Chains A and B, each alone.
Chain A
Amino acid sequence: MTTVTIDKTAPTRKVKYGSMSRDRTWALRWSYFFLAIFAIFSLTPPIYMLITSLKSSAEISAATNPWWVFHPTLENYVGLLTSNQFLRFFWNSAIVSIFVVTITMLISVPAAFALARMRFWGSTVLATGVFLTYLIPETLLFIPLFKMFAVIGDWSGIQLINRWYVLLILYPTLTVPFCTWIMIGYFASIPKELDEAAIIDGASWFQTLTRIFIPVAFPGIIAATIFAFTVSWAQFLYPLVFTTSTDQLVMPVGIITTLIKGDVFNWGQIMTGALLGAAPPLIIYAFLMDYYIAGLTAGATKG
C-alpha cells in the first residue's frame, strides 16, 4: 500500500489538469495531422477521376491545368449510360455479385455456426483450415482452376469457360473462407447460455441458428455481406482470365478491354466508368454502416 500525501502548498490539481489537457490537445493535433494526410492520399485519385470524367477528350489532351475543368461536359456519362455494352457489363457485375453474396452467405453462415457451436470431432482444425485456404492467393490458383474447368468441359461437355456463371463458382473460393471466419468470430462472441436457453425452450439447431443466432449476429452478417460484395464487385483477375467475349464480361474487365483500343486510351470514359463502378459499393456502405456499428447484443446477458 502506498500512502497519499496531499501537499497543500503545491497547486497539484491545477498542474495535473493542465498537463492532461495539454496531452489531449497534442494527441488531437497529431490525430488530425495524420487523418488529413490520409484523407488527401485516399481522396486525390477519385477527385482527379471526377474532374477528368467531366472533360471532353480534346480538353484532356490539351495542355491545360489538369485539376480544373474549363468546359464541363456530361458527354462521357451520356456516352457510357447509352452504350448497351457498358450497361451489359454493369448488369453482369450486378448479377454476379448478387449471386455470389447469396451463395457465400448460404454457405458461410451455417458453416460458421457449425464450426463455432456444434463441437464435433475436428471442428477446431477445420476452422483453422478454412482460414488457411483464404491465405492462398488467386494468382496461384487461376492456372490450375482454368485447367480444371477445361478438363471438366472436355469430359462432360458443360462449357464453363467464357461464361459469366463460371464466376459464381470462382468468387466463393475467395469470399466463403473469409466470411466463414468473420462469422465464427461473431458467433463465438454470443454467450453460450443463449443457445442453451434456446435448446431448453425446444429449438432445434436449425431454429437456434435462424431465430437466435442470425438476428443476434446481424452486424456480423452485414460486415460479411459487405466484404463478399466488395470482393466480387472489384474482382479483376478471375474474370480477365475466364471470360473473353464482350457479352460475358463484368465491369472492371469490360472497361479495360473495350475502352483501351491498342494504344489509344479513352481516358474520359475510363474515368467515368470507374466512378460509376465505384458507386454501388459506396451506396451499400452508406446504408448498412449504421447496422454494422449498432451493437445488437447489448442486454443479452448481464450488464
Chain B
Amino acid sequence: MADVTLRKVVKRYDEVEAVRGIDLDIADHEFVVLVGPSGCGKSTTLRMIAGLENITDGDIMIGGDVVNDVPPKDRDIAMVFQNYALYPHMTVAENMSFGLRLKRYPKAEIKTRIDEAARMLDIVELVDRKPKQLSGGQRQRVAMGRAIVRNPKVFLFDEPLSNLDAKLRVQMRIEIKKVHQKVRTTTVYVTHDQVEAMTLADRVVVMNHGRIEQIGTPNELYHKPATKFVASFIGSPAMNFIPCRLEDLAGKLHIRLTDRVVFPLPPARAARYQGVPRTDKLVLGLRPEHITEAKPHSEPGVETFDTVLDVTEPMGMETLIYFTLEGAQVCGRVNPNAGARDGGPLRLAVDLNNMHLLNEVTGVVL
C-alpha cells in the first residue's frame, strides 16, 4: 500500500502534448477516478503511472520513491485493462498466478492467494476454465483477480467496464467498490463515464485537454464546480447554461435572462456577485432539478415565470421538460402530475439559491 504523487508530469508525442503538467496527490488507501472526454490525457496519465509510457518531464512517486525510470514490473502495481487482456491459453487459475509464478512464489502461497481472491470475486467454480469459456463479466472478474493476488501497492484500472452492457456495468461497479472496501489498496481508475466516476470515487479528477480542471469529492464537483467544463461534464442531464446580465434595479442586484424574465438575487448570492462588472458576458448555470413546476407557496430565493414547453420526456418518477430561453435549450425536472405536455404552457420555478454564475469568456465559475 502506498501513496502516489505526480509532480508537473508532462507527456509529449512529437508535436502533440497529451498531458500538460499534472500535479496530483493520491493518499494511501484512496480510490481516485480520472474522468474526462476521450483524448483528455487520462489514459496516458494512468499508463505513465504504470510505466507503460515514458514521461517527458516531471516526476512520478509511488510510496515516496521516484519511479520515473523504474520498469513496470518493479513498480509493484497491478493493472486491469479495458479488454481484460487475459492470457487465452491459460486457465483462470494460471492467469491469476502468472505474476506470482514468475516471481517464484511457493506453490502453497500461490494456491492460498488464488483461493482467497476467487472467493472474494465469486469465481471459485471457474478457476479451471479457459477465458473463452467465460462471459464478459466473468472475464473482468478474473482480470481483477489477477490484480488482487499480486497484492500490489497500487491498482490501476483502465476503463474496465466499458466493454460490458449497461446492466452488468452497474453490477460490476458495486463489485469493484466492495473489493476496494475489503483490500483498501490505493486505486487509480480511469473512465469517461461520469456516473462511474461519481459512484466509485473518494475523489474525482476531472481532466480536459491534458490538464486537470478540478479535483474534489463527487459532491464538491457536483455542487461547487470550478469551471464550465466541470459543470457541464458532471451530472446527467447536464447543467443548463443560459446567457444573462447582472442589473441593479431599485438598489437590489437582479439577473436578467430575457427582456421579460428578470429575477432578484437572494441576499447571499447578491453579496457574492456584487463585485462582478455589469458589462461582463455572463452565463447562468442551473441544474435541471432546480427548474421545477411552480408551487403554491413560494420559498425565498425561488422565482417563478411562465413558458411554453418544446418537448417533454416522461421518465416515470419525474418528467423531463425542454424549453427555449434566449436561444438556449433548457432542461427541467417536474413532477409527473404537474401537467407538462408537449407544446403546452407551464408555470416554472427556478431555485436561485443553487444557481451558478459563470464568466462566458473564461469559463470560470464566479
Contact = CB atoms under 8 A, between A and B. Distances in A.
Given A193-B83, A193-B85, A300-B88, A199 B73 contact: yes
Contact of B87 (A199, A216, A302): A216
A211 B132 CA distance: 18
Contacts of A199: 52, 71-73
Q: What range describes how many residues of B lie at the interface? A: 20 to 34
A197 B84 CA distance: 9
Interface string B272-306: 00000000000000000000000000000000000
14 contacts: A191-B83, A194-B87, A197-B81, A199-B71, A201-B73, A201-B146, A203-B73, A203-B102, A216-B88, A298-B88, A300-B84, A301-B84, A301-B86, A302-B163
A199, A218, A299, most chain B CB atoms within 10 A: A299
A34 B22 CA distance: 65
A197 to B, nearest CB: 4
Contacts of B163: 302
Contact of B88 (A203, A207, A296): A296
A218 to B, nearest CB: 8
A25 interface: no
Interface string B190-229: 0000000000000000000000000000000000000000
A257 interface: no
B79 A300 contact: no
A297 B81 contact: no
A283 interface: no
Interface string B72-113: 110001110111111111000000001100110000000000
Contacts of B132: 298-299
Contact of B131 (A191, A203, A215, A300): A300
B25 to A, nearest CB: 23
Contacts of B79: 196-197, 200
Q: What range describes how many residues of A lie at the interface? A: 20 to 34
Interface of chain A, helix or strand or loop or mixed? Answer: helix
Contacts of B77: 200
9 closest residue pairs by CB, A with B: A299-B132, A201-B99, A193-B85, A301-B83, A299-B131, A202-B73, A300-B88, A197-B85, A215-B89
Interface in A171-201: 191, 193-194, 196-201
Contact of A300 (B87, B103, B150): B87
B50 interface: yes
A212 interface: yes
Nearest to A193: B85
Nearest to A299: B132
Given A200-B77, A202-B103, A299 B85 contact: no
Given A196-B52, A299-B131, A201 B85 contact: no
A202 B79 CA distance: 12
A299 to B, nearest CB: 3
A294 to B, nearest CB: 11
B235 interface: no
A251 B133 CA distance: 47
B134 interface: yes
Contacts of B130: 299
